[in-house]
Amino acid sequence: MSRRKSIYIDGFAHKNPIPAAALVDGLLMSGIIYGLDLETGKPAEGMDAQCRLMFRHFKAILEASGATADDVVKLNVFLLDRSDRAALNAEWMSMYPDPDNRPVRQAMQADLDGGKLIQCDFVAKLSQ
């Protein structure tokens, strides 16, 4: 029996043959998550919509793996324009309203493709 469990969520799939996340011995790591509009199959229009959908997919991956937002240790965020964080911060504060109970977050500027304005990946540690 494999120690690794590959995590997939309905409607959100990578073009390459990889899962949305992988879980090994309680360590959960995601691939890239972005504001994919499941109806069009493309990134949503605008930063607000992309952030909202990115966090929706983030939560769905956590749920599919048996994790919660409290299990997240670090969120890496990649922005086309690093100064454009208002929508990111709004979603962040909604998911993590308690300043004493937030994971660490790193935001970096990146050359994103295909209409993406933002994307992320995360690391979580589940209790066993």
Average pLDDT of every residue of the chain: 94
* 60 CB-near residues (< 8 Å, 6+ apart): 9, 12
Q: How many residues would you count in the chain?
A: 128
Q: What tens digit of pLDDT does each residue of 32-85 get?
A: 999 999 999 999 999 999 999 999 999 999 999 999 999 999 999 999 999 999
* Cα separation values, 98 from 61, 95, 102, Å: 22, 9, 7
The pLDDT value recorded for residue 100 is: 97
Q: Which domains does the chain have, with CATH numbers?
A: 4-8+19-125 (3.30.1330.40)
Q: Give helix then strand counts, H and E, for the chain.
A: 2, 9
pLDDT band with cut points at 50, 70 and 90 for residue 13:
confident
| Eight-state DSSP code of residue 44 | P
* pTM across the whole model: 0.94
The per-residue pLDDT for 126 is: 94
pLDDT tens digit string along 104-128?
Answer: 999 999 999 999 999 999 999 998 6
Residue type, 12: F
- Whether the predicted pLDDT of 89 surpasses 90: yes
For the CA atoms of 96, 100, 104, 109, the dihedral, rounded to the nearest 10 degrees, stands at 60
Q: Which amino acid is residue 75, in one-letter code?
A: L
pLDDT, residue 128, reads: 62
